[in-house]
Chains A and B, each alone.
Chain A
Amino acid sequence: MTRSEAERAESGQTGPDDEPAWIQAAKKDPESFQYLFNKYHDQIYNFVLRRIYHREMAQDITANTFMKALEKLHQFQYKGIPFSSWLYRIAVNEVNLVYRKRKRSIALTEQRSLHLAHDGATDDSLIQHENEMETEAQFKKIHEAVMQLKPKYQDAISLRYFEEKSIREIAEILGISENTVKTHIRRALQNLRNVL
């Protein structure tokens, strides 16, 4: 890999068609994985954060996701499932693994707020901070309701409404049929009616 390609990898400035080439390069040289990491890090981090509602744990799970992706990159082939869906699948499994180990008790008991303390610099920043706190409080209520669903329903709901994935994409990520995705979403929404 040339220096200019490595620099492009670091800055993320490369065309959409380059992804297969970056994947092949990363299989040979792990440092080339940085392009894919920069491209998908924020997406995966935000997905995990919305699922787990705990900043530090979301960072750890995101790290584990990319480490596993790099470790198993040699197994990835373009067989109808895009790379981003494969990454999301790893992230979903990592989140569910944490929940199985800790029995779903993390976010609600260990963290009250995602936000750092406000320094009170200006009135505008104070208003913005208050708006952010209100948004966070509203999401927390949603998150608590979603947490009461079965894990497979939580995955489907998160991917559909928080990540705005299509039914087809969700089916690819979760490795299930589109009809099963629709069933999961329908049942999850029916359950949420009783809570929200």
Chain B
Amino acid sequence: MTKNIEEIEQLLREKKLPDQDAGYIRNQLWQKILEENRKRKKTSPLFRIRPWIWTLASLIVLAVSLFIMWLIHGSFQ
């Protein structure tokens, strides 16, 4: 027999997994987080630059290079 919405809601509330004690992992986890944070900060700042910034910078360098080539080409004519 199909349950009604209220019964489903009651079922979800009553049968949810009770809170588990996580104290035993909390300390280990905190040390792991601190360690990862230290490792992250040691990474060269260059690696933290977002990819889209690298792409934009590359396009700008390409555009400037093409412009300079055009200028050089123009000066020889």
A contact residues around B17 at 8 Å (CB): 46, 49-50, 53, 114, 135-136, 139, 143, 162
Q: Is A38 within 8 A of B5, CB to CB?
A: no
- CA gap between A67 and B38 in the complex, in Å: 11
Q: Is A59 within 8 A of B25, CB to CB?
A: yes
Secondary structure of the B side of the interface?
helix
User: Distance in Å from the Cβ of A19 to the closest Cβ of chain B?
Assistant: 18
The contact string, 1 if C-beta is below 8 Å from chain A, for chain B 1-32, is 01111001101110111111111011001101
- CA gap between A49 and B19 in the complex, in Å: 9
Enumerate chain A interface residues (CB-CB to B < 8 A).
30-31, 33-34, 37-38, 41-42, 45-46, 49-50, 53, 59, 62-63, 66-67, 70-71, 114, 135-136, 138-139, 141-143, 157, 161-162, 164, 189-190, 192-194, 196
Nearest 9 pairs of A and B residues by beta carbon: A161-B12, A139-B17, A45-B22, A162-B16, A138-B15, A42-B22, A46-B19, A142-B15, A189-B5
Enumerate chain B interface residues (CB-CB to A < 8 A).
2-5, 8-9, 11-13, 15-23, 25-26, 29-30, 32-34, 36-37, 40
